[in-house]
Amino acid sequence: MAVSVDERAGTGRGADRALVPPRPRSLGAWWRRHERRLAPYLFVAPFFVLFAVFMAYPVANALWLSLHEWTGLGAMEWVGWDNYGEVLRDASFHHAAANTAWYAAASLFVICPLALLLALALNSRRVAAKDLLRTGYFIPVVLSPVVIALMFTIIFDQEFGLMNAGLRGLLGIRPINWLGSPEWARLVIIIILVWRWTGYIMIYFLAGLQNIPRELYEAAQLDGAGSWRLFWNITLPLLRPVTAFVAVVVLIGASQIFEEPYILTNGGPGEATLSIANYVQREGFERLNFGYAATASFILFAFVFLVTQVQIRFFGIGREQEG
C-alpha cells in the first residue's frame, strides 16, 4: 500500500503530529526534485492519452457492448456471450464472411501481383512519362466513392452499360446482368477493388524496388544472369520486407472493405456482395442491434488477428531483427 510522506512523518508521533507545521513546499520545488524521473513519461504521454481516449476506451466499450442487447437508446440488456453464438450461427454473417474472404483473396492474389508488375514496369529505364503514369494509376484512390459508384453503375448496367455494349459489339455476347446476378455482382466488386487499389499498392512496391542497389543487378548480369533470374534471385528476396508489409496491410484493408459494396450494390443482390463491415453497419444502424453489430466486429477482429499472425510467421517478419 502506498504511504504518503505526511503519514510516514506522523507515524509514532501521536498527538505531537498536529503541532508540527507542514513543511512549506512549492510546485516548482517538487517538479525540480522529480523532473528527471517524470520528464520521459510526459514526453510519451500524449500518445498514451490519445490512445486511451480514442482507441482503448472505445474498444473496451465495444467489447462491453457486445455482451448486451441495445438499440442505442435506454438501458442495455445483459446477454453475456449469447450474441457471439447467434452471430456465428447467423446465415447472413456466413454470407458476409464468405464474400469478405473472396475480397481478401482477390486483394492478395490479384491486386498484389498486379501492383508488383506495374511497379516493375514503372521502375524500368525503358518506360517514359513515369510521373504521368504513376499519377494515373494513383488517381482512383483519391476519387470520390460517389463518382466511382456513378461511373461503374453506368459501365456495368445491363441495358445501357458500356461493358455490355462492348461485349455485344466485339464478341456478340448477350447482355450480362452484372449488378443483378450474385456471381457477376461479386466479380464487379472485385474489379472495382483491383481498379481502385492496385495503383496505391504499386507505390509501396515501387519504393521497395527503388531501394534495391543497382550494383547487385549489374554484378549478377556480369555473372550471366537473365531477367527472370534477376527478378527471382534479387528483386523478390530484397522486396520481401515490403511484400510482407503490403500483404498484411492489404489483408487488413480487404477484411474491412465497406465502401465498394455499399455504394455500388448495397450488399446485394440479396446478400451476394455483403461484406462483414456492411453487415456490421446494417445490424447496427439499420436494425439498431448495436450489441450484435459490436459482436460481429470482434469476431472480424479475431479472424483478422489470426490470419495476420499466420502471415507474420509465413513472411518471417521480425525474425531478422531477432537473429
Partner 1 sequence: MSLSRRQLLHAAGAASLGAATTQRLHRRSAAAQTAGDKEPVTIQFWTHDQNYIDFFTARAAELTESPDSPYAYELNITQAPSADIITKAVAAYSAGRGIPDTVGIEISQFSRFMQRGVAEQTLLDLTDRVAELRDQFFESRWAPYTVDGRVYAVESGYPLSVYYYRQDLLDEYGVETPLETWDQVMQIGREVVVPQGKAMAAISTTGGQGGGDITQFGLLFQQRGGTFFDAAGNLTLDTPEAVEVAELLATGLQEGTILGLTDFYGGPGAAAMQQGATVGYFMPDWFETYVLQPTVPDQEGLWRIQPLPAFAGGGSRTSVWGGTGFAVSRDSPVAEATWELLRYGYLTRDGQIKRWQEIKYLPTMAEVWDDPALTGPDPFLGGQEAGQVYKELAPTAPTQYQSPFWNQLTVELAGQLAELYNGRTSPADAIKNAAAAIQAEMG
Minimum distance between the CB of residue 176 and partner 1, rounded to whole angstroms? 10
- The smaller minimum CB distance to partner 1, of residues 158 and 311, is found at 158
| DSSP H or E run through 162 | helix 162-171
The CA distance from 275 to 281, in Å, is 10
- Give bridge partners of residue 68 from the DSSP assignment: 78
Per CB under 8 A, the list member of 84, 199, 254, 267 interacting with partner 1 is: 267
Task: Report whether 292 contacts 86 (CB < 8 A).
Answer: yes
Q: Is 81 in the site for partner 1 (CB under 8 A)?
A: no
- Binder of partner 1 out of 158, 307, 308, 315 (CB under 8 A): 158
**Bridge partner residues of 69 (DSSP):** 77
Q: What is the DSSP letter of 134?
A: H
Which of the stretches 177-185, 222-230, 232-240, 301-309 binds partner 1 when contact is defined by CB under 8 A?
177-185
Please tell me whether residue 291 binds partner 1 under the rule CB under 8 A.
no
Query: Which amino acid belongs to residue 31?
Result: W
Of 18-26, 60-68, 69-77, 118-126: span binding partner 1 (CB under 8 A) = 69-77
Nearer to partner 1 (CB atom), residue 102 or residue 315: 102
311's grid cell: 502471415
Using rule CB under 8 A, residue 159 touches partner 1? yes
Is 20 one of the binding residues for partner 1 (CB under 8 A)? Answer: no
Evaluate whether 286 touches 293 at the Cβ level (below 8 Å): no
When asked if residue 288 is in the footprint of partner 1 (CB under 8 A), the reply is yes
Report, in Å, the least distance between residue 228 CB and partner 1.
44
Of residues 53, 60, 154, 306, which one binds partner 1 by CB under 8 A? 154
**Closest CA relative to residue 308, chosen from 229, 259, 239, 254:** 254
Alpha carbon distance 167, 188 (integer Å): 15
Residues 218-257 that bind partner 1 (CB under 8 A): none
Interface with partner 1, residue 99, by CB under 8 A: no
In whole angstroms, what is the distance from residue 100 CA to residue 302 CA? 14
Give SS3 for 8: helix
Please select the residue that binds partner 1; options are 108, 138, 177, 238, rule is CB under 8 A: 177
Q: Work out whether 287 is an interface residue with partner 1 (CB under 8 A).
A: yes
Please select the residue that binds partner 1; options are 41, 43, 47, 160, rule is CB under 8 A. 160
Helices (H), 13-161: 27-51, 57-65, 82-89, 91-106, 112-123, 130-142, 145-155
Task: Tell me how far apart the alpha carbons of residues 79 and 32 are, in angstroms, rounded to a whole number.
Answer: 52
Under the binding rule (CB under 8 A), the answer on residue 311 touching partner 1 is: no
Single out the residue of 161, 199, 208, 291 in contact with partner 1 (rule: CB under 8 A): 161
Direct distance between the N- and C-terminal alpha carbons of the chain, in angstroms, rounded to an integer: 42
From the list 28-36, 155-163, 210-218, 236-244, the region that binds partner 1 by CB under 8 A is 155-163
Residue closest to 84 by CA, chosen among 293, 312, 281? 293
User: For 76, left (φ over 0), alpha (ψ -120 to 50), or beta?
Assistant: beta
Stretch that binds partner 1, among 72-80, 107-115, 133-141, 307-315 (CB under 8 A): 72-80
Residues that bind partner 1 (CB under 8 A): 71-74, 91-92, 150, 153-154, 156-161, 177-182, 185, 265-274, 282, 285-288
